[in-house]
Amino acid sequence: MGAGSRWAATALLVLAILGAACRGGSQQSGEGGAPHEQMVRLPTTEPPSLDPGLATDATSIDVIWQLFEGLVGFDDQGTVYGVEAQGWQVSDDGRTYTFQLRDGLRWSDGQPVTAGDYEYAWKRNIDPKTASDYANVLYPIQNAERIHEGQADPSTLGVRAADARTLVVQLEQPAAYFLRLASTWTLYPLPRWAIEQYGDRWTEAGNIVTNGPFTLASWRHDQELVLARNDGYWGQKPTLERAVYKIFPDGAGDQVVTAYEAGELDLGTTNFRLPPAAVERFQTDPKLKSELHQFAASDTRFIVVNHRRPALKDPRVRQALGMALQRDRLLRDVLKQPGQPASSLQPEGIAGRKPELWPSEDVQQAKQLLAEAGYPDGRGFPELTFTYNTDDTWKALAQYLQQRWKETLGINLRLDNMEWKTFLKWRYESGWTERGDLYRGGWTSDYEDPNNWYNVLWDSAEDPTQFNGGWVNAEYDALVRRARGEVDPAARTALYEQAEAILARDYIHIPLYYARYEVPVKPYVQNYTPTRVLGNTPLAKMAVVTQ
Amino acid sequence: MTGYLLRRVLLLIPIWLAVYTLTFVLMQLTPGGPWDREKPVPREVREALDRKYGLDKPVWQQYTDYLVGVVTRFDFGPSYTSRSRTVTDVIGDFFPVSLTLGLLAMAVGTTVGVALGVVSALRHNTWIDHLAMVFAIGGVSVPAFVVGPLLVIVFALGLGLVPTQGWGRPDQMILPVLTLALTPAALMARYTRAAMLEVTRMDYVRTARAKGLAERAVVLRHALKNALIPVTTVAGVLLATVITGSFYVEFVFNIPGLGRYFVTAVTNRDYPVLMGVTLLFASAITIVNLLVDVFYGYLDPRIRYE
């Protein structure tokens, strides 16, 4: 054996030992990747806040959803069920809700969960001093809006604990969607003593007191957040003993996929889209392909139309723009995104929706409509501008629209992109209202009720603070405002269906697709189906097949 | 020396003030604010948030309030994004990580770079020299966003020797430190080589050889020590760069460092974090420069500060 080969052999040996040592330290899983314990490792981004009263983003809410719970919940069929409330009554006028809490509810520090904890939470969240982003979710409750604007004291909010297990809520006016609101995180109970003791830091590990199926074991900011099964939980206890959230930066889709393939993660989450570079690999590699799953989301992507612009005032023009598109091609070849072509604005699961009323794709008819509107083959039609926030996906969309509308309708499209926050602000300035034509928009349900779409988005009173399209229709406004308070579910749906017909006829914005979640999941992880609203991870139901 | 140091330290005050003012003005001019979210925040909520964080006050008062808070209470304000933390918490959590990463990379980079530089200079115009310079040019030209993922693919995903991401255990540090060390190593190699080539032609080196000193003593004690003076200048700048500019490496390897956080804060318009980190980075750069100047005096007795 020569000196050279001996040297090489030694180097190899050192490498092998090093490799073995490193592996021993970094991998908890055994052969085949399956873990030895009931534990999952999953990616997330840094949650801005674990305070249910303050959280507004999907990352925070996913973790809060494991740690806390509220009065009621909804399944994907839209059926309500009691969580901490075992029963509730609604008064005949639809303005008083009375909830009875279960017996034996406990906070993670052993204190009982009482109706007073709900009363405290709601009054605290509506207090303008708390500065909660989602305070307006509480507006249907008596005095909420006045309190929030500083014209009344938080103690006057229409909620009171009649006794430790009875919560009475007084609404400003009937709101048929109140139970939906009551299922959201902003209306969860809060541990007053912890908040008063630790102030803003009450959500740190060690300080936080929770009432859900998991507890917060540790939280190293921007690194790792560990949840542990709450063995004192009143209901069905989770199978998983631990869940380790590995925290990645925003936009780190590539790193997440790499960590998943290296066996450092057991599943992805809805926080991370599969990066376009990985899509092809996941579609061709049979093993990866079998691990990639699609799930429904309550989420529509569309193009916002500026109704103030003369050329876009005519509904035939808007319809022509929408009917000229080939959405299945757009999704599959251009955007490479999971989703379903959308003909209507409201996604599946929203009562009142009637996609069949909306025009379907038809280039010939699109051309005809444009001609009827006075622009045969696009002659005389002004150049339009499409604005989007700087991002590869939206850039691809913009280029597709430019090419497609030029080819089919003879319409020229100018593309304009902006940095994210600049884009968000621009939507409310003259750059959009006076000079903008189209921009990329989308909405995901906060709660799966028609109110969260028909009222919150398209009512002309809400429009200026939402997508700001400038569409006004008095008949529509009257219908959805009546529907909001209608207590009879069938009558309510009928009202929303009438409103839907107006949206479809006016084709107020151009629907593109219903987005779906696409998440890689290792074969040994069971029962992963993210919630349709917000894509929360169902940790309480999940399990792993251990060795 | 003491007088010089004092003057230099006092000079930090106008530098900080200038950085503070410039950053403040830029933040005022940047379109979009912390409460511009995809789902619009209602007007009353915006107003409540502005009141909570003092953004409803006149601009000049926001300017002075923050300054007074920093000077009198060392309070850099709350983070708008992470609502349970203050800027001081954020810096306390993340700066040590960036500092560790930067110092390790600098240590590796300097050792490798100086060694390569010395060897190339001593073996001037041989294949060793050429190979080392190919590495040096490669190290400067190939950016971290190519090297980082490449190392991950080969050593983490392919060979499975180290994890793909994370921070804390030694095995997680290897790839990021190597990636970040590449540029300093390459630059140091080039500067050391050039300086060594110059120094070895000097009379005193020839004298040292003529005296019959061992080659080792000639190279280390006589040549290298003098060659290090220009190299130290570069090292100082590089140190400041790797500590404050490791954003991409932190992003690729998912390391919770300040560089990564800073970029997120820009996107989120998290003004207090931006301000705090900018001031910290400005301080780091000025302090490193001061240290380099002081170190000159030690290396070169001809340089003395009055």
The average pLDDT across B83-108 equals 92
Q: Pick from A131, A220, A249: which is nearest to B52 by CB?
A: A131
From A258, which residue of chain B is nearest by alpha-carbon distance? Answer: B164
Report pLDDT for A13: 43
Distance CA B176, CA A202 (A): 34
- Residues with Cβ within 8 Å of B163's Cβ and at least 6 positions away in sequence, in order, are A22, A26, A259, A262, A264, B156, B171, B172
How confident is the model over B272-293, as a mean pLDDT? 88
Give yes or no for a contact between A207 and A201, defined as CB atoms under 8 angstroms apart: yes
The pTM score is 0.89
Can you tell me the distance from the alpha carbon of A210 to that of A208, in angstroms, rounded to the nearest whole number?
6
Environment class of residue B30 by beta-carbon count within 10 Å: exposed (0-12), middle (13-18) or buried (19+)?
Answer: middle
pLDDT digits (tens, 9 = 90+) for A269-308: 999 988 878 888 898 999 999 999 999 999 999 999 999 9
Q: Does B269 touch chain A (CB under 8 A)?
A: yes
pLDDT over 90 (residue A259) = yes
pLDDT of the residue at A169: 98
pLDDT band at B304 (very low <50, low <70, confident <90, very high): low
Q: B171 vs A48: CB contact, 8 Å cut-off?
A: no
Least confident of A5-19, A378-392, A416-430, B227-241: A5-19
**What value does the mean pLDDT take over residues A254-269?**
95
A–B: how many Cβ contacts below 8 A?
A: 156
Bridge partners (DSSP) listed for residue A301: A442, A513
Handedness of CA A199, A205, A209, A211 (dihedral sign): positive
Residue A60 has pLDDT above 80, yes or no: yes
Residue A279: predicted pLDDT: 87
Does residue A8 have a pLDDT over 80?
no
- Closest chain B residue by Cα to residue A257: B164
Closest C-alpha among A170, A493, A142 to residue A346: A493
Question: Given this model, what pLDDT does residue A34 score?
Answer: 67
Structure tokens at B195: 């300086």
Report the share of chain B in percent with pLDDT over 70.
98
Name the percent of chain A lying above pLDDT 90.
Answer: 84
d(CA A92, CA B247) in angstroms, rounded, equals 60
Average pLDDT of the residues of chain B: 89
Rg for chain B, CA atoms, rounded: 24
What do you get for the CA distance between the two ends of chain B, in Å?
Answer: 6
Closest CB to A26: pick one of B163, B252, B260.
B163
Which residues have a Cβ under 8 Å from the Cβ of A66 and sit 6 or more positions away? A212, A213, A214, A227, A243, A537, A539, A540
Rounded CA-CA distance A372/A280 in Å is 43
Residue A20: closest C-alpha in chain B? B161
- Of the candidates A46, A424, A446, the beta carbon closest to that of B32 is on A424
pLDDT in tens, A397-454: 999 999 999 999 999 999 999 999 999 999 999 999 999 999 999 999 999 999 999 9
Comparing CB atoms, the residue among A46, A423, A465 nearest residue B43 is A465
CA A157 distance to own-chain centroid: 28
What token pair was written down for B10? 């006092």
Q: Distance between CA A223 and CA A219 in Å, rounded? A: 8
Residue of A57, A186, A258 to mutate, interface with B, max B Cβ within 10 Å: A258
Copy the structure tokens of residue A419. 């940095």
- Report residue A16's pLDDT band, with 50, 70 and 90 as the boundaries: very low
Q: How far is A146 from chain B (nearest CA, A)?
A: 10
Q: Which of A504-508, B133-137, B212-216 has the highest mean pLDDT?
A: A504-508
pLDDT of B104 higher than 80: yes
Lowest mean pLDDT among A345-349, A521-525, B99-103, B300-304: B300-304
Which residues 118-177 of B have a C-beta within 8 angstroms of A?
149, 152-153, 156-157, 159-169, 171-172
* Predicted confidence (pLDDT) per residue in B225-277, tens digit: 888 888 888 888 888 888 877 888 999 999 999 988 888 898 889 999 999 99
- Cα–Cα distance between A176 and A483 in angstroms, integer? 8
B37:A56 CB<8 A: yes
For A40, list phi and psi in degrees, rounded to 5: -125, 150
**What residues in A contact B171, CB-CB < 8 Å?**
21-22, 25-26
Whether the pLDDT of residue A322 is over 60: the answer is yes
Residue B264 contacts A where some CB pair is shorter than 8 Å: yes
CA A252 to each of CA A43, A47, B210: distance values in angstroms, whole numbers, following the listed order: 10, 15, 60
pLDDT tens per residue, range B178-209: 999 999 999 999 999 999 999 888 888 888 88
Query: How many CB atoms sit inside 10 A of residue A395's CB?
Result: 14
The per-residue pLDDT for B306 is 54
Quick one: CA dihedral A16, A20, A22, A23, positive or negative? Answer: positive
The contacts of residue B247 (CB under 8 Å, 6+ apart) are: B259, B260, B262, B263
Q: How high is the ipTM of this complex?
A: 0.87
Angle at A406 between CA A405 and CA A408, to 5 degrees: 65
Contacts of B251 in chain A (CB under 8 A): 249, 252, 255
Provide the shortest C-alpha distance from residue B205 to chain A (in Å).
36
Helix/strand/coil for A494: helix
Nearest CA in chain B to A422: B32
Given a cut of 50, is residue A18 above it in pLDDT?
no
> How far apart (Å, rounded) are the C-alpha atoms in residues B249 and B201?
40
Does pLDDT of B45 surpass 90? no
**Which pLDDT band, with edges at 50, 70 and 90, does A26 fall under?**
very low
How far apart are the C-alpha atoms of B266 and B281, rounded to whole Å? Answer: 15
Question: Closest Cα partner for A239 from A536, A535, A532, A524?
Answer: A524
d(CA B214, CA B47): 76
Contacts of A195 (CB under 8 A, 6+ apart): A124, A202
| B contact residues 216-245, partner A, Cβ 8 Å cutoff | none
Q: What is the pLDDT of residues A124-163, one digit of tens each?
A: 999 999 999 889 899 999 999 999 999 999 999 999 999 9
Q: Strand, helix or coil at A390?
A: coil
DSSP string, B128-194: HHHHHHHHHHHHHHS-HHHHHHHHIIIIIIIS--S-SS-SSSHHHHHHHHHHHHHHHHHHHHHHHHH
Model confidence over A454-485: pLDDT tens digits?
A: 999 999 999 999 999 999 999 999 999 999 98
